[in-house]
Structure 1
Amino acid sequence: MAGDGVEKIGQAVEDIGGYIRRQREGAEVSLRQLAKVAGISNPYLSQIERGLRKPSAEILAQIATGLRISAEVLYVRAGILEPRESSPVLDAVTADPDLSERQKQVLTDIYESFRRGNAVDGSAVESAAVENAVENAVENAAGRSAATDTENVSK
């Protein structure tokens, strides 16, 4: 029975490696190019793709950046994160290449706060949490916008 857990881990490593290979080939990126962008060696990336090595979360994030996909997708595939409930809104946010990972996370947090608020029938505690999340996001966005405006004016 103990072997079952080892087999599952082995399968997850093979799955993540195969998934990375399929994404790389679909993006028409060579192994060498992806390794360079991800900051890892060609042999190490090859071993990951063949299921011989299990990459750390940090390496997965670097590979995701190189493939221009969400690190979250790789984390779920590798078994680091639990899959979240599918939603067209969250899928669109995750897939948007023009958003940074931080921006995607803020939008996801706000959206999930609204969904939780609706599920609780507008409880006062949840409503306050939603309002705080929105306020924080607006303040962060306004701060970035003001900083960007200042940079643009000074140029």
Structure 2
Amino acid sequence: MAVLTQFDSQLWQWCDMSYAQNKALCLELQNSCQVNVNLLLLAQYLDITQDVTGPQRYSTDQWQTLMSAVGEWDNKFLMPYRKLRKLAKPSLNEQEYQQMLDVELMMERKAQRTILFKIKELTPNGKTTNLVSYLSLFGLSDRDANEIGLIAP
């Protein structure tokens, strides 16, 4: 469990940096394609890192499994909260709105932990990059995925 906790912390920090550099693109993919930003950033991370066994590539079916693992949390809690935050924005001062963003971030971290627990159960068997495999679930082609232009931190 200590290894997972260390990976969780490292991944969260990396994703936070990547999100900061790719915020507009992440939000565009989230809003237009319903892409899960946690999974998008995980795919990017896995594509640019490897462990001692080599690249960790997951198949489209495995990415679907990860989406399903976090889907219930997202549908029941995260998305309704996000909608509430957006609706409340005009009625809140800056500090109140920031507090809502902080709660949403906490919810995103919970979702990421769920993903990490599930990915630990999977043995990578993908033939292409994680980004291509994941984005294909949203009807994006290999070319689209390769042209996304995520900037690595």
TM-score (normalizing by structure 2): 0.30
Structure with the greater relative contact order (CA < 8 A, sep ≥ 6): 1 or 2? 2
Rg: which structure is higher? 1
